[in-house]
Structure 1
Amino acid sequence: MRLCLVDPLPWDYDADTPLERPLGGMQSAACHLAAALADLGHEVALVTHTTRPGARRGVACLSLGTPGGRTELRDRAWDAMISLSALAGPVRALVAPGTPAILWTGHAEDQPAVACLGTPAERDAWDGVALVSEWQRLRYAETFGLPAFRTVVLGNAIAPAFEGLFQDADDLQAAKRARTVADGGPMTLAYTSTPFRGLELLTGMFPLIARPARLRVFSDMAPYRTGPADSQFAALYERCRATPGIDHVGTLPQPDLARALRPIPILAYPCTFPETACIAVLEAMAAGCAVVSSDLGALAETTAGHALLVDPGEDWSSFAPRYLGALDLVMASVTSKAGIERLWEQVRFVNQTATWAVRARQWTDTLASWPPR
């Protein structure tokens, strides 16, 4: 098939970018899916505002910032166009009339980026909508009236750098126990999501953790070229640096983050933002981190029974002590024999079900008979 993935945001990236520097979740996903589809033999283009167009990872990276890139995109005959933007009109204008157009989005139904789907004409301009979880699909049906036959769930996946990080359970055990001091030294925890999805809550709870711990924070706004600036979170970063035991590292390129998480036994993620899915959690699972998070959004669906999730309740008033209790339980057992066995099962689960090679095959099978019109 001839497929093009289009992102009209004014971000300079191409198929190699997530291997080189931090990049937003859906943008990274588009890069990895494009490469995985190309590996299956499809003719694939990734269309962005890249300043270095050309072939990368088997993908034709076209630039919307050049007349030549726009002309090439419009002149080719595509079997389907997959768009990261919900505004159908401007995106459809980039390709030949009649090209099947699919919206692929990880945005929750209440986000401004998809508010246009509340307009019937805008909603009906898409031939189909690909979503990242059943939780998200249900909310799109309730909010926008999208019938099931017009939507499909094709989940997110882990970056290639997170695949096969451990040879076997013994290798995982050696990695996780390497930094666990038998005489009661601190256990390392990690936080890898954006600052506004739970870091402030975690920073406030950290001094109350019952067992010796240190926290490495791989979080800032560097992956995003638009939206909240890092200056908005300057006080939070300073609070991290001022709290004994917290190391604010910032975001890292995916290969560096995979190496950094390999010896860390726990992802501490008291999520306050309803996730439609969560690549950060999937990648932490692949890196052998026990996940302690909130039972919010699609996190239960994403983790598929491989995480300890704490119900935030109606108003979060009792969340902190319950979360700290859950974290203590995991810290007490995560590097035990049974704990390592559980981690190995989750590592195997993610590698078998949530790689971009798996997703590319699912996209291929889906596109063979969908969208429905």
Structure 2
Amino acid sequence: MVKAVNIDESPNTLGTPPKQPSSETVSIINPDDEVEFVVDTGSDNLVLNAVSEKAIGGTELMKKWLFREMDKREPGLTDKFQWISTRVRGLEPDKQRILWIHDLANDGEVQHLKDKENWKKFERIVFVSHWQQNQFRTYLGFPFEKGVVIQNAIHPIPEHTKPKVDGKINVCYFSTPHRGLELLLNAWEFMRKELKEGLNAELNIYSSFKLYDRGHLDEQFRHIYKRAQDMDAVNYHGTVSNDEIREMLKTQHIMAYPSIYEETSCITLIEACSAGCLCVVPNLGALPETGA
């Protein structure tokens, strides 16, 4: 018998972040016994940060870039507003608030937008793609006229000449693992072993949850990282800085991103296009709009 009690089922409310479950000691018992398994989360009170200051994902890069550019134009301008990147952690009463949404409409952190009363708490709600805005209209009933679309952007990668060494083709993947890395490894193995194609290609993988300063999430993907390390013509690099990624892209010919995740935008795709890479991506989420 399995029983769970005292589970915190309070609805997601504006400015209420998720809580991290506490860990309990587990003991091995006689499997023939009837067991009552109790999960008590009533005392959990560790609040998760909205975004880690150490994170270097697309959302974080965009915010840092925007703030730098705004301060160049008018020092102190960013301090006149409360800038919220998707996840609300309290509202400042003396500032106009801009909610800059990067996540999907089904994300728990944005469900407060189902309530019309919460719309008026923000001076403007900004989406990063038209596809994303349509999703919020469809699933949350959020009206078009209450939001605005400002698509993501980057500093262009300088013009360069791709390497031509013995006909080798450099292919890269630089996103988190849950967005399609295992699928890519399957395709890579099939291409080389079964089709006997791409034997002159080398795959460079830059992937881990350290990108978001969430290294503990890597545990469930260890087998994928190990597989990548053991495969022929595959180099696994983990997570590196965005400056290193931009330099790496100058040496790459193809960006392979068989994403199984609905992107609301995609800095990875924007950077790869800017670097002159041939981008292999699916028709999913906002990827077609981003790469148009």
Question: What's the CA shift for 1:12?
Answer: 3.1
What is aligned with 1:18?
A: none
What is aligned with 1:192?
A: 174
Amino acid at match of 1:145: G
3-state SS in 1 of match to 2:212: coil
CA distance in 2, matches of 1:105, 1:10: 13
Amino acid at match of 2:284: L
What is aligned with 1:240?
A: 228
TM-score by length of 1: 0.60
CA distance in 2, matches of 1:29, 1:193: 16
Amino acid at match of 1:178: K
Number of matched residues?
A: 238
2:85 matches 1:119:
no
What is aligned with 2:186?
A: 204
What is aligned with 2:7?
A: none
Q: 126, 149, 162: which one pairs with 1:176?
A: 162
TM-score by length of 2: 0.76
Structure 1 segments, 4+ long, off by >6 Å, are none
Contact kept in structure 2, 1:127 and 1:150, CA below 8 Å: no
Question: What's the CA shift for 1:199?
Answer: 0.3
1:200-258 CA distances to partner (integer Å, 9 max, x unpaired)? Answer: 10011102222221100011111213486111210110011111111111121111111
What is aligned with 1:341?
A: none
Which 5+ residue runs of structure 2 have no aligned equivalent?
1-48, 192-196
CA distance in 1, matches of 2:251, 2:285: 28
2:261 matches 1:273:
yes
Amino acid at match of 2:90: V
What is aligned with 2:139?
A: 143
What is aligned with 1:82?
A: 83
What is aligned with 1:368?
A: none
Amino acid at match of 1:254: N
What is aligned with 1:332?
A: none
Structure 1 residues 15-54: aligned runs within 5 Å: 23-45=56-78
Contact kept in structure 2, 1:130 and 1:154, CA below 8 Å: yes
Q: 208, 211, 214: which one pairs with 2:202?
A: 214
2:34 matches 1:11:
no
3-state SS in 1 of match to 2:210: coil
Question: What's the CA shift for 1:176?
Answer: 1.6
What is aligned with 1:91?
A: 90
Contact kept in structure 2, 1:178 and 1:263, CA below 8 Å: no
Amino acid at match of 1:84: S
Contact kept in structure 2, 1:281 and 1:291, CA below 8 Å: yes
How many percent of aligned residue pairs carry the same amino acid?
Answer: 27
What is aligned with 1:129?
A: 125
Structure 1 residues 302-317: aligned runs within 5 Å: 302-304=290-292
CA distance in 1, matches of 2:150, 2:261: 21
1:64-121 CA distances to partner (integer Å, 9 max, x unpaired)? Answer: xxxxxxxxx7xxxx2x32211443xx532x351xx32111011010112212222333
CA distance in 2, matches of 1:119, 1:133: 22
Contact kept in structure 1, 2:180 and 2:260, CA below 8 Å: yes
CA distance in 1, matches of 2:124, 2:215: 27
Contact kept in structure 1, 2:50 and 2:87, CA below 8 Å: no
What is aligned with 1:283?
A: 271
CA distance in 2, matches of 1:238, 1:122: 46
Question: What's the CA shift for 1:42?
Answer: 4.6
CA distance in 2, matches of 1:296, 1:153: 19
Which 5+ residue runs of structure 1 have no aligned equivalent?
1-7, 14-21, 46-72, 167-171, 305-373
CA distance in 1, matches of 2:198, 2:169: 8
Higher helix fraction (1 or 2): 1
3-state SS in 1 of match to 2:281: strand
CA distance in 2, matches of 1:132, 1:91: 22
